[in-house]
């Protein structure tokens, strides 16, 4: 059976850079990030663009890379390494944060797009979508898509759900807003028929390299553990929010 593992990153730090403690677990040192890319290459895993996955039907295991939030590190650290390793990826900026401190500028985002990488939406303002009214939800989806398409000159087909929190109304609205793919951070392995809602594994600072290698090598026990951990965190977020 054809399978797709999507791994998701946020911010990549170079030596000497720091972030507030509340963001620390969603950052990764550049050296560790490159070590992970090297391992993917060594394992011989095919890295595909999310837009192409529905056409992958040769019963292989594929990998996709995504980057949420549109941080400055996407162009400073991530892009050169992806080009070095010849990997495809998707980038998801928050539209109203573009051009603000530590985030991509519009010129940098367009450059990433011109280099052949996919751009998707991560909403206008990064709200928890389940707390919005119907009109607010539509605005976050439709406006961000429209602005990104105008700025990049390319169709925006992918939507990364803020915080990974969703319900069926949100998934329905994502589709009605013109996106082909919605992405959550509730983790499981994806199959070609799943493209309307695709699942990802967040790579955190606390993700050990041994866990990462087992994940890439499709270790069943590790995959099940990460899946249960993702579901627990999802339920906890729902309870406290």
What residues does each domain of the chain span? 3-240
Q: Evaluate if residue 55 carries a pLDDT over 90.
A: no
How large is the C-alpha radius of gyration of the chain?
Answer: 17
What SS3 state is found at 125? coil
Interatomic CA distance for residues 144 and 167, integer angstroms: 20
- Asked whether the beta carbons of 6 and 53 are under 8 A apart, the reply is no
What SS3 state is found at 199? strand
Q: Where on the phi/psi map is residue 218: left (φ > 0), alpha (ψ -120 to 50), or beta? A: left
- The reported pLDDT for the residue numbered 82 is 98
Classify burial at 239, counting beta carbons within 10 Å of its beta carbon; exposed 0-12, middle 13-18, buried 19 or more: exposed
- The reported pLDDT for the residue numbered 128 is 96
First to last CA, the chain: 37
- Asked whether the beta carbons of 19 and 77 are under 8 A apart, the reply is no
Which residue has 């929190």 as its token pair? Answer: 165
Question: What is the mean pLDDT of the segment spanning 94-103?
Answer: 96
pLDDT grade for 2, boundaries at 50, 70 and 90: confident
Q: In the CATH scheme, what architecture does the domain 3-240 have? A: Alpha-Beta Barrel (3.20)
| Predicted TM-score (pTM) of this structure | 0.90
- Read off φ and ψ for residue 69, nearest 5 degrees: 90, -20
Digit-coded pLDDT (tens) for 101-135: 999 999 999 999 999 999 999 999 999 999 999 99
């Amino acid at each position: 059976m054809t399978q797709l593992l999507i791994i998701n990153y946020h911010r990549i730090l170079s030596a000497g850079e720091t972030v507030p403690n509340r963001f620390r677990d969603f950052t990764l040192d550049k050296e560790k990030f490159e070590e992970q890319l090297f391992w993917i290459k060594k394992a011989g895993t095919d890295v595909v663009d999310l837009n192409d996955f529905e056409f992958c039907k040769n019963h292989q295991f594929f990998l996709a890379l995504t980057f949420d939030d549109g941080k400055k590190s996407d162009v400073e650290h991530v892009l050169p390494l992806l080009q070095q390793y010849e990997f495809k990826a998707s980038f998801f900026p928050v539209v109203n944060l573009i051009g603000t401190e530590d985030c991509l500028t519009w010129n940098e985002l367009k450059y990433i797009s011109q280099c052949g990488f996919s751009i998707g939406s991560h909403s206008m303002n990064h709200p928890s979508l389940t707390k919005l009214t119907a009109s607010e939800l539509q605005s976050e989806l439709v406006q961000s898509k429209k602005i990104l398409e105008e700025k990049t000159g390319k169709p925006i087909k992918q939507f990364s759900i803020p915080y990974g929190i969703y319900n069926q109304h949100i998934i329905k609205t994502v589709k009605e807003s013109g996106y082909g793919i919605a992405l959550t951070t509730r983790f499981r392995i994806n199959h070609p028929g799943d493209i309307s809602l695709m699942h990802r594994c967040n790579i955190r600072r606390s993700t050990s390299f041994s866990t990462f290698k087992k994940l890439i090598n499709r270790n069943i026990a590790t995959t099940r553990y990460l899946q249960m951990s993702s579901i627990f965190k999802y339920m906890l977020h729902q309870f406290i929010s």
